[in-house]
Amino acid sequence: MSEILLLIFEIIGTVAFSISGAMLGVKKGMDIFGIIILGLTTAVGGGVIRDIILGITPPITFLNPIYAIIAILTATLIFLPSIQKIFLKQPHYYDLAMLTMDSVGLGVFTVVGIQTAYVMTPEHNLFLLIFVGVVTGVGGGVLRDIMAGDRPYIFVKHFYATASLIGAAITSIAWIYFGQALSMLAGTVIIITLRLCAAKFRWSLPKSELGD
């Protein structure tokens, strides 16, 4: 995958996650600063955690602020009254948009995390690639939910983290045989598909009978 295509890939993930974070901020009644911070954190949080794990300091987000700028601009657009009215008049649009954007962001950043681990750690192994991929994919969403005062999505919604885990494993193994571009595209599609199917068919992991 060329540098330009990888950049486009990352921008798509950044926009998707920023939208999901900002939308949650709108739903929570936050002011514009809170909405921007939530969008920014969701978009770059997983990447910052990834870089810390891999020993990349300072994290790439701070060296190349294009992703932070895109996230801030995206979140600001979500704050516009005309955009907010769409979700107020049609509440189901919020659920659909949230599911779609979260799924796209999860898929993109899981495989981008694997790509970064692959490039930055010459002595990588399968466990490292999968672990870093999942952390990159779910990290921003976990920070978003905690900051918004919600139980993290990955623990309760349609095997959210499991979709990332499956996609990360397939991407990491496929990388050996099919190379970077095909494995990243396949992994992204698989994760998005699993997330959407899980929501539609209400797939879920077993839950504790002692829970609320």
Q: What is the pLDDT of residue 204?
A: 79
Supply the DSSP symbol for 173: H
CB 159 within 8 A of CB 198: yes
Q: What is the pLDDT of residue 157?
A: 65
More confident site: 132 or 208:
132
Q: Find where tokens 């919020």 sit.
A: 94
pTM of the model: 0.93
Tokens found for residue 55: 């020993």
Residue 111: C-alpha distances to residues 25, 99, 139, 173 (Å): 26, 19, 13, 12
CA dihedral 54→59→60→65, nearest 10 degrees, is 160
Interval 142-157: pLDDT, tens: 999 999 999 887 877 6
Please determine, for residue 1, whether its predicted confidence score (pLDDT) is greater than 80. no
CB 108 within 8 A of CB 10: yes
CB atoms inside a 10 Å sphere around CB 58: 10
Interval 178-204: pLDDT, tens: 999 999 999 999 999 999 999 888 887
Q: What is the pLDDT of residue 186?
A: 96
Under the banding of pLDDT at 50, 70 and 90, the label for residue 69 is: very high
Sign of CA dihedral 54, 55, 56, 61: positive
DSSP assignment of 18-51: HHHHHHHHHHTT--HHHHHHHHHHHHHHHHHHHH
